[in-house]
Structures are given as C-alpha cells and as structure tokens.
Structure 1
Amino acid sequence: MREIERIYLAYLNEIEKSLEDIETTYKLDPSSKEKIKRLFTLINIKPEKKQEKIEIGNIYLTFEEHIPIYYIIYDQIDDLYEVLKMSDWVELGNENDLLTRINDEWFIVETWNNFYLTADQINRSIFYGKIPKEDFDLVRKFLNGEIKELPREKRGLTASEGSYQMQFHKKESQIVRKYKLLPLEQLPEFENTIELPPKRELLLELVAGKEKTTAFGENFVLHKDLENNRIELILPKELQGKKGIITILDQTYQIDHIPEKIYLKPTEEIKKIDVEKLAQKISVRETK
C-alpha cells in the first residue's frame, strides 16, 4: 500500500469511525495512530473558556460531532464572518493549500474551502492561535489574483483529478457544507446572494463592444447586471419552489426551495467576468 493511500485511509477513519473501529480495521503506523489518539483526547478536553476578540487571522477549533474543524477568520461580511478551513493532514494538501506552522504544528490553509459563521458560533469555538502575517498575506494575494500560485515551499504537491489529494478536498468540503449556505439562510428569498470566489480562468481580455452579458445553461440563464455589479442566475418556473442542488464553481448548495433568481456577487468588476465560461461551471438539478 502506498504511503499516501495509508494516510488517506487514516484520514477517512478519523472522520467516519471511532478510534476502536480504526485500530481493529487497519494496522496503522505509530505516527498515524498517535495523531488519531490525540484527536480523541482533544474531544474530551474541557478548556477554560477565554473570550478572544474576533479578528482577521485568528484561528479556531470547533467540532462537527467528533470531527475537528480548524478554521481561520478571513473576512467579515455584514454580520457574518467568512472563514477558510484548515487541516493538520498536511500530507493530503495540494498546490492550492498553503502550508503554515501554528503552535509548533504544521497545518494547511484550504484556500478553496470557504464557509461562513456567526460571531456566536465563533465564540463557542476554541481559540487556537493566529496565522503569521506573511502567510495570511500570501493567502489574500492568492485569492485576490495578485499572485498566480503559492510559493513552491509554502504549498502542497500538484495533484491530478481522482488523486487522494482531490478526494481529500471533496471530503473536506462536505464536512462544512451546511455552513456554506449560511448567507442564503440569513437573506430573504428574493435577495439570495452568493459570493463568488476569485477565479482567474473566468476573467477575459475585454474587446470593446464584444463582451456578452447573457449566457445559457442547460436549465438556467445567466445575465450580467452591470449597474449593480452582480450576475443573475435565473431559474425556470418548473424548478421554482422545489428542492434542489446548485453547483457553482467548486461549491455545492442544497436548496430547500429553489427561488426565481440567485444573485452571484463577484470579487472582480462584473464586466471582467466571461459569463459563458461561468455558465459552463454551473449546474442545477432537482432532488427528491
């Protein structure tokens, strides 16, 4: 068994099984077993509650059932905080994961895995530390498109589709999926808004008079609202009010009642977005 496969199996067992199940199912190497034991020890710790001021760059630890969720405060949007998931499974990181050292332990910042929390949810978490300023600056520049890639010495290995690293990414996104929907839950249905992460491949070199403002998907229409700097995702009447799944770029949203429109808010100027390329990265389907 390859080492990366052993690490991935240990990761899966961490999030899907109890410690007893892990030890009886797999013969883990000492380092992997120690990591898992440390996890289950952490769960039983009742730390002294220390209220820290919520600041950009702060790192916290919370749990989803028995699964540890480390995250960093990246931005504040009205009453919500945008955060990025972190993980100490650094061996499973890829070129989009930033390596950083916190409290003498290595972590990756999953620059692609953002979600949202309220101040109350953050205050119920365990304050873990603060990311070094130079590392936070790298994350910010990468997400803003100021640098095309993370420095080689500060990122994981390049991974291909279907690799263990990419399977890890899928699982990591699923763990915090419900928190990705928080902006939708806190807005009236007619104001549904999703923040689009920076995607350099969606930018286009503008040709005067030739940029398109409308694109068509299989069962939706995208329209650029230049005046309000947003994109309208217009959904068909036959889907409205039904349960469904909408995938936009790398993020999947489970919707209990599909609205008439969802507004996509980009970080770039709306006129710089190639709406046809964006339409190719969106899918909408009904669920039962």
Structure 2
Amino acid sequence: MREIERIYLAYLDEVEIEEIREEKSTYKLDKYQKEKIKRMFTKINIKPEKKPEKIEIGNIYLTFEDHIPIYYIIYDQIDEDTYEVLKMSDWVELGNENDLLTRINDEWFIVETWNNFYLTADQINRSIFFSKISDKDFDLIKKFLSGEIKELPREKRGLKAGESSYQMKFHEKESEIVRKYKLLPFEQLPELENTIKLPPKREILLELVAGKEKTTAFGENFVLHKDLENNRIELILPKELQGKKGIITILDQTYHIDHIPEKIYLKPIEEIKKIDVEKLAQKISVRETK
C-alpha cells in the first residue's frame, strides 16, 4: 500500500468511521493511523486560546459536525450577521497546489482556498477560538482568490495532483463535510426562494450615476432585471445552465450551487433605484462546473 493511500484511509477513518467499517470489514488501523487519530483528539483537548471579544477577519475557529472536527478561518464579513469562511485541515499530506500551507500554534495546516462556506455570528461564537493566521499568509490567500497572483508560492502549497488522485478524493470529501453551510446566503423566505442579500459595504460600488436609469443589463450568459416594485434584482439564467452544478460570483463572493435555478433574486439593503444594474452585471459571473 502506498503511503499516500495509507494517509487517505486514515483520513477516511476520521470523517466516516461507520462507512469505513461497512465497506472495509477487514480494514485495521495501523500504528501510523492510530497515532494520527490519537494526536487529533489530544490536540482538541488542549486548552484553547482566550476567545477575542469580537469576530475578526483572520481568526481561526474549531467546531464539530457530528464527530468530525472542522477548522475554519474567517475570510470576509458578508453582512451584519453572515461571514464567509474557508475550511482548514491538518491533513497537510493530502493538500494540493490550491491549498495554502500555514503554521498555526506550532502545527502545520492547509487552508482550503477553494472550499468556502458561510456561518452566522452565533455559529462562530459557539465555536472554539483556536488562533489567528499571520497577516502575510492571509494576504497570500486574498491575492490568490482575487486573481492578483495565479498560483501560491511553491513552498506554501501542496503538490500538484491529477483528477483521480487521493488529493482530489480528499477535496471532494472536504467539500461534502461542509456542504450544508454553503448556501446560507440563499435565504429561504416563505414567498420566495433563491435570494441573496447584496453585501451592504459593497453597494457603494454600484451607485447609480444620474441619467443612467436602466432596468435591464446583459452579462455573458445571464440577464439582470430591476424589479422596482418589489425592490429586488432578478438574475435570470439560461436554460442550458439550469439544473446543472455551477459557480456564481457576485461582487467577489462565490456561491457553489448544486442545481442552478431559473432565477436568483438579489436583495439590496439600499433602495434598488440607487443601484446601477450595468455596473452590477460587470461584477457577476456564472459558470458550469463538472
């Protein structure tokens, strides 16, 4: 058995113990795997750092999904009560070129730059404060996600891996663990589904210039329409994308969607008449993923 396969099996034993027992009834933990899991629980029992008074960008927290430990870093504040976070993992051996290597509390972690999800302030405050990432590493994450740099520095990333590699299997499982938290910005309102609140701190970028009161704008593969009566904007998506898995980016916020709907409703904090729909269209992208 190759070492990378051994590591991946140890990881699976951490995140889906029952499934491993059912599928691999003869599977036994070796010394390496036992030590890895023991170290995980020993680390978790260490007295955490004093929790800061407020949630800050760059803070790292620990929470649990059933028996699974989930480390995450605060990446951005979406609105008064919603934060975008990036998942972290101490399974650094399974990271690839899109995972940032960082040292936290004398231990190595990867920041999964591709694996964002959303939490409320209450969910974060109920988590265990673990530490804070260095300004230098956080700056690397921002530059990589914004496209300012095309790749992470070689010494700060995992190894390049193919689509059928154990690293990619690890990525799939890591995304699955936090899947239910990925659609928090889509409010499930009684009368309307698929609604996203526009981040208030970014609406200033869309301020309407006098004389440009257009109600419709076109993107590469979508249409935006101002619904003045209901104070919302309709993001209308083409039939060829509907029902497919995709990624929608709105004002640099990324939303991973399992089934692209016919429409997504954008709800501004300010009055919709103050927003330049053409400027907004320039800051939206929609693409299908496999």
Q: Please, what TM-score do these two structures have when normalized by structure 1?
A: 0.71
1:74 corresponds to which residue?
75
Distance 1:190 1:33, change over 3 A: closer
Give the SS at the match of 1:73: strand
Spell out the pairing of 1:87-126 with structure 2 (5 A cutoff): 87-126=89-128
2:9 corresponds to which residue?
9
The 8 Å contact of residues 92 and 108 in structure 2, kept in 1 or not, is answered as yes
Spell out the pairing of 1:1-288 with structure 2 (5 A cutoff): 1-17=1-17, 25-41=26-42, 45=45, 51-52=51-52, 53-78=54-79, 79-185=81-187, 189=192, 192-193=195-196, 213=218, 222-223=222-223, 232-234=235-237, 246-248=245-247, 252-253=256-257, 260-263=262-265, 270-271=281-282, 278-279=286-287, 281=288
Measured after TM superposition, the shift of residue 54 of structure 1 is 1.0
The 8 Å contact of residues 245 and 252 in structure 1, kept in 2 or not, is answered as no
Measured after TM superposition, the shift of residue 246 of structure 1 is 4.5
Consecutive unaligned residues of structure 2, counting only runs of 5 or more, are 199-216, 227-232, 249-253, 268-278
Measured after TM superposition, the shift of residue 159 of structure 1 is 1.1
Alignment deviations for residues 212-248 of structure 1 (CA, whole Å, 9 cap, x no partner) = 93566xxxxx22569xxx8824377xx9xxxx77433
Consecutive unaligned residues of structure 1, counting only runs of 5 or more, are 196-211, 217-221, 284-288
The 8 Å contact of residues 99 and 155 in structure 1, kept in 2 or not, is answered as yes
Measured after TM superposition, the shift of residue 104 of structure 1 is 0.7
Letter in 2 for 1:63: F
Distance 1:149 1:25, change over 3 A: same
Give the SS at the match of 1:71: strand
Cα distance in 1 for residues equivalent to 2:114 and 2:197 = 15
Measured after TM superposition, the shift of residue 33 of structure 1 is 1.7
Cα distance in 2 for residues equivalent to 1:225 and 1:75 = 27
Alignment deviations for residues 157-193 of structure 1 (CA, whole Å, 9 cap, x no partner) = 1111111111111110010000011111366736613
The 8 Å contact of residues 247 and 253 in structure 1, kept in 2 or not, is answered as yes
Give the SS at the match of 2:185: helix
Letter in 2 for 1:177: R
Cα distance in 1 for residues equivalent to 2:234 and 2:115 = 22
Letter in 2 for 1:179: Y
In the alignment of these two chains, the number of paired residues is 245
Letter in 1 for 2:16: E
Question: Identity rate of aligned residues, in percent?
Answer: 65
Cα distance in 2 for residues equivalent to 1:126 and 1:253 = 29
The 8 Å contact of residues 60 and 127 in structure 1, kept in 2 or not, is answered as yes
Cα distance in 1 for residues equivalent to 2:46 and 2:7 = 29
2:211 corresponds to which residue?
none
- Aligned alpha-carbon RMSD (Å): 3.9
Letter in 2 for 1:155: R
The 8 Å contact of residues 234 and 263 in structure 2, kept in 1 or not, is answered as no
